[in-house]
Amino acid sequence: MYSQSTVIVGGLAHIPVVIGVFSFIQKFFSKRASNFPQDTVPKKSPVKPVEQKSVPKPPPVAKAETTVVKKKHADVPVNIYRPKTPYEGTVIENYSLLKEGAIGRVNHITFDLKDSDPFLNYIEGQSIGIMPAGEDANGKPHKLRLYSIASTRHGDDFKGNTVSLCVRQLQYEKDGETINGVCSTYLCDIKPGDKVKITGPVGKEMLLPDEEDANIVMLATGTGIAPMRAYLRRMFEATEKEKNKWNFKGKAWLFMGAPKSANLLYEEDLQRYLTDFPDNFKYTKAISREQQNTKGGRMYIQDRVLESANELFNMIEDEKTHIYLCGLKGMEPGIDEAMTKAAAEKGLNWSELRPQLKKAGRWHVETY
């Protein structure tokens, strides 16, 4: 006969064995789950949007610190359409944004999304993927290229079922030959009525804050204006404001870099916002091939940042200020250098400040 205490001690002795067996089973199954390739995991069908927002994916379980950030953007639509099953959108319009005498080719292109099911909704600051028609040198379909969305979620016609892009045709010389970029040339050449394979939306880096009294500093070169155009329409376009009920009360400051005046993008709209909202909008241009910096070189946005160092850093010291950087990757070192000098003039250390701004979700960069 066993005494009661012997039974208890005997039972306790089995606990490590039981835990071990459970732990093995758990590890075995979680390993199998993580071995599934991304595309064979059943996809969630996104919900049709209410005011254009859906919840296509549950936020992943993550560390406490990152969960807070993820949770904040949990309702942002992502990857409604993927490369294996893109949406075929119809081109509504495709026109040049440049004036006579401009360099290169930059077009504004709008696609109809109304027949997408699930509905391809997006918010300001996101990008979509475009899969150009045709095949690469190896006979494989071309890979997708990303483009920042230049329209608000309500679209250029405010009906909520289009998306617009601002695309520069990539062109460069190689061995005496002009090379045209595959996707940017395809996009600049497409005609109304053409069908285009679209994926996305993607991106949570360039989203606007919810606060109506936030200050938004925008540093853009060329087509980097695309997300900024969407922000500014959200802030200042009358019909858009009626739709979005977002009553922007902060200060928006756009630094825009273009090679020539004729290359300035969406200039008429920006001038109208300046007239209508002089207290809320400031617009500073760096026209590299028409203006010179203090050293006699081409005027870039980082030179304008330096000129405005004091005012800019007064804004940055306000925790309601967000900074957005979009356009040429090559501008990043120049901007960093200018911010370092500008910060130093205020007795601040940019290499310490920048990570703090990033951590606080106030420093947003999308360069390519």
Q: Name the residues annotated as catalytic.
A: 147-148, 326, 366, 368
Report the phi/psi class of residue 273: left, alpha or beta, with left for phi > 0 and alpha for psi in -120 to 50.
alpha
Task: Write down the least CB distance from residue 109 to ligand FAD, Å.
Answer: 10
Using alpha carbons, select from 126, 288, 291 the residue that is nearest to residue 207.
Answer: 126
Considering CB distances under 5 to 8 angstroms, the limit depending on partner class, which of ligand FAD, ligand A2P, none binds residue 113?
Answer: none
> Closest residue (Cβ) to ligand A2P?
222
Q: Between 125 and 259, name the residue whose CB sits nearer to ligand A2P.
A: 259
Considering CB distances under 5 to 8 angstroms, the limit depending on partner class, which of ligand A2P, ligand FAD, none binds residue 280?
Answer: none
Task: Write down the least CB distance from residue 366 to ligand A2P, Å.
Answer: 14
Using alpha carbons, select from 122, 227, 130 the residue that is nearest to residue 182.
Answer: 130
Task: Write down the least CB distance from residue 295 to ligand A2P, Å.
Answer: 14
**Binding interface with ligand A2P (CB under 6 A):** 168, 221-223, 257-259, 263, 288-289, 298, 300-302, 328, 330-331, 334
Binding mask 152-191 for ligand FAD (x = CB under 6 A): --------------xxx-x-x-x------xxxxx------
Omega before residue 56 within 30° of 0, cis? no
- Residue 126 in the binding site for ligand FAD (CB under 6 A): no
Q: Between 162 and 223, name the residue whose CB sits nearer to ligand FAD.
A: 223
Among 86, 97, 120, 145, binds ligand FAD (CB under 6 A): 145
H helix intervals, the chain:
4-34, 64-72, 182-189, 225-236, 238-244, 267-276, 301-307, 309-316, 331-345, 350-359
- Distance of alpha carbon 359 from its chain centroid, rounded? 17
Q: Say if residues 87 and 81 touch (Cβ distance below 8 Å).
A: yes
Structure tokens at 138: 């190896």
Residues that bind ligand FAD (CB under 6 A): 127, 145-148, 166-168, 170, 172, 174, 181-185, 223, 226, 366, 368
